[in-house]
Chain A
Amino acid sequence: MDQYTLNLLFVGASFALYIGIAIWARAGSTSEFYAAGRGVHPVTNGMATAADWMSAASFLSMAGLIAFVGYDNSTFLMGWTGGYVLLALMLAPYLRKFGKFTVPEFIGDRFYSPTARLVAVICLIVASVTYVIGQMTGVGVAFSRFLEVSNTAGLLIGACVVFAYAVFGGMKGVTYTQVAQYCVLIMAYTIPAIFISLQLTGNPIPPLGLLGEHQDSGQALLKTLDQIVTDLGFNSYTGHHSNTLNMVLFTLSLMIGTAGLPHVIIRFFTVPKVADARWSAGWALVFIALLYLTAPAVGAMARLNIMTTVYPNGVAEQPIAYDSRPDWMKNWEVTGLLKFEDKNGDGLIQFYNDKNADFTATAEANGWTGSELVVNNDILVLANPEIAQLPGWVIALVAAGGLAAALSTAAGLLLAISSSVSHDLIKGQLNPNISEKGELMSARVAMAVAIAVATYLGLNPPGFAAQTVALAFGIAAASIFPVLMMGIFSTRVNNKGAVAGMLTGLIFTVVYIFLHKGWLFIPGTNSFPDTVDGSLLGITSVSIGSIGAILNFAVAFIVSNMTEDTPQEIKDLVESVRIPRGAGAATDH
């Protein structure tokens, strides 16, 4: 069976499974559509949360980011997992006790302010829409590489599948499809990693293999890797080469942003009890950790494999000739994501760091006139099984896994958007007397519209698609997380404080990002370069969310203390949210 048929078989079978689940899990009420009837087991919810959370970025890009940078990009590993501690300790149990359906609804009720609810809806929609564009482009890329259909056709197929289970099944359909998608994506990620770890270190557990001995060289894998990359003028893999302040602030922004992303928070509304919400956050992190503990091993091992492919006899000897390059390089050259340019015309692939001034002399002595190979970070996970010469079914599985990661996150985001539009905007502001049936219908229409918009933006991604993820996290960190936390842990913060805090965090963060990335991301309109030295505060735009969050807290406290105290019924509401007893009664509001 050729590779194309295998890919088609694996992707087709996984899609058939998702559609089957969609037919089985149809939502009949708003409670089922918004919160899966609050009957999801905490472990099941943990698995669904993991799939919801782990996007095309986690699955496809993260290992590549770690592989080509090393230690400095540990920020992603710590940042994207540390947020779950904040969720489990400070948000999930209390918001579950509150017992409503959306994040803006809590903000509106707790701060007795339709304005606060509206600001929250805007933050939610901007953060979720920017985030969903990346998922849809990821779907298109995976399709075009593995099924050899056009980007457009691939994206439309993906959109139809999401439509099938998200529009009919709502949260209930999405939850159970996400469980299936988690199983597909985690197998797709770990199976090639196990093979590669066995090949390189003899250890079948990749995270232990990373710390183990490299069988060919007989010394620690990380030491070997450090030697090879530094011999070619690259930064050492385990060394710290980036700005420390920015590393800390970026990690913190990712943590707070993770805890403030609405599509993750609403997953905790689906479990039956407050105690379940606490356990469920732990289970979510268990399932996330399976991938996140594998990722650094995948990164280091893939980097080593690429280096030894180019330099089969060691870095002191000649690199491989272009004509005898392996098949995976040929496959990826077609996509343009891997490029070779024979700068010195010797027919060999020189791959080294030509930006390193200290290395120029060595390169000149060797007759090298520039690094001749360019490898895009994002192909690493997809190309990994080919690089390690694994069987065809593993490659097909990785294709299905990449699609599962992108689709599950897209569905979760679309659900957060549609429930906010139907519940917060239509029921909350425009037509409070809408019947349950009418609300359910409007939720489905909102979902369909959201899918159409996301598909359109996926087909015509604004040039800034990759940069907007920083915006999504910045907004979630600077506006949503702080007000949710203050709403639970303070009885003093009032409507005026919350609105002032949210707007301060939001405007500060968005303006700072625009000052460095260009207004509305239009190139050339930025006032400062987005580098550590050139930026306004010495902080790059991706790290600014944590500063926005601190400003949000500060402004909310100052304004609240200068204005009147919160009414007694709000104090009672906060008291009741803090106590688990009575969560069942709050269910059917």
Chain B
Amino acid sequence: MADNSSKNSYWSANLRLIIISLIIWAIVPFGFGILLRPALMGISVGGADFGFWVAQQGSILVFLALIFFYAWRMNKLDREHGVDEE
């Protein structure tokens, strides 16, 4: 069984990972897709601009990447801190 300090470092590593992921989760759709779109008009993607692409397709791809990255990283953290399921 994992001791308390190991549990604490596991939880703070998890929180760090969640915070970083959520910053990306927020910046991509709300930033690139909506608020910063006017500033990014110069970049064109297939007949429209970068912001339009992010709003219609890009953010979904980023969400997918975030979830799989988190799952992979956490399953590794579980093992490193000895809290994984046998």
Residue of B nearest to A237 (CB): B48
Chain A residues with CB below 8 A from B29, complex form: 78, 82, 251
C-alpha spacing A240/B55, complex, angstroms: 11
Stretch of A106-114, A178-186, A274-282, A392-400 that contacts chain B: A274-282
Q: How far is the CB of A569 from chain B (nearest CB, A)?
A: 17
Confirm or deny: A74 has a beta carbon within 8 angstroms of a beta carbon on chain B.
yes
| Cβ A85 vs Cβ B85 within 8 A | no
A584 at the interface (CB under 8 A from B): yes
CB-CB under 8 A for A579 and B7, given A74-B56, A244-B35, A285-B63:
yes
The answer to whether B59 and A81 have CB atoms under 8 Å apart is yes
A247 to B55, CA, bound (A): 11
Interface residues of A in 196-255 (CB under 8 A from B): 207, 210-213, 219-223, 238, 240, 244, 247-248, 251-252
- Which residues of chain B come closer than 8 Å to A71, judged between CB atoms? 52, 55-56
Within 8 A of A (CB), among B24-77: 25, 29-30, 33-35, 37-38, 45-49, 52-53, 55-57, 59-61, 63-64, 66-68, 70-71, 74-75
Bound together, the chains give a CA A466 to CA B66 distance in angstroms of 33
Interface hits, A66-116 → B, CB 8 Å: 71, 74, 77-78, 81-82, 84-86, 88-90, 93
Q: Complex Cα distance A556/B14, Å?
A: 24
Interface of A toward B, CB cutoff 8 Å: 71, 74, 77-78, 81-82, 84-86, 88-90, 93, 207, 210-213, 219-223, 238, 240, 244, 247-248, 251-252, 273-275, 278-279, 281-282, 285-286, 289, 292-293, 296, 575, 578-584
List 22 contacting pairs A-B, 8 Å CB cutoff, sorted by A.
Answer: A81-B60, A82-B25, A82-B63, A88-B67, A89-B18, A220-B48, A238-B48, A240-B37, A248-B34, A248-B35, A252-B30, A275-B78, A289-B61, A579-B83, A580-B78, A580-B83, A580-B85, A581-B1, A581-B83, A581-B84, A581-B85, A583-B85
B binding-site residues for A, Cβ under 8 Å: 1-2, 7, 10-11, 14, 18, 21-22, 25, 29-30, 33-35, 37-38, 45-49, 52-53, 55-57, 59-61, 63-64, 66-68, 70-71, 74-75, 78, 82-86
